[in-house]
Amino acid sequence: MEIMNRKRGMAFGRAAMRYYPDLGYQAALRRFRREICETPGLLDALTPLGYEEHHRYLTPQEMQVIEERLGEP
């Protein structure tokens, strides 16, 4: 995984921009959050890992689940 801090993981905004590079920063954030909520089973898989909607960082485990469900950007 690129640009991943071993302790904190990846900044949520950076992850959003990886998935939606053609959008502006705020639009990418909104789209990424919506995608997490609307992808069947994704939010259910992230919740036990400690995911909360307004966290600023995604852990490596959370990013792994996201990439498994959404594919790698």
pLDDT per position as a tens digit, 43-72: 999 999 999 988 899 999 999 999 999 998
Residue 4 lies in a domain: no
Total-model pTM: 0.86
Predicted pLDDT of residue 50: 94
Residue 21 pLDDT greater than 60, yes or no: yes
Residue 1 pLDDT greater than 50, yes or no: no
Please name the residue that has the structure tokens 């959003």: 16
Residue 57 lies in a domain: yes
Q: Identify the domain containing residue 14 by its residue range.
A: 10-70
Residue 41 lies in a domain: yes
Residue 15 lies in a domain: yes
Look at the chain and report how many structural domains it folds into: 1
Main-chain phi, psi angles of 59, to 5 degrees = -70, 160
Residue 36 lies in a domain: yes
Burial tier of 58 (Cβ tally within 10 Å: 0-12, 13-18, 19+): buried
Residue 3 lies in a domain: no
Residue 31 lies in a domain: yes
Give the model's confidence band at 73: pLDDT under 50 very low, under 70 low, under 90 confident, else very high: confident
Q: Is 9 helix (H, G, I), strand (E, B) or coil?
A: strand
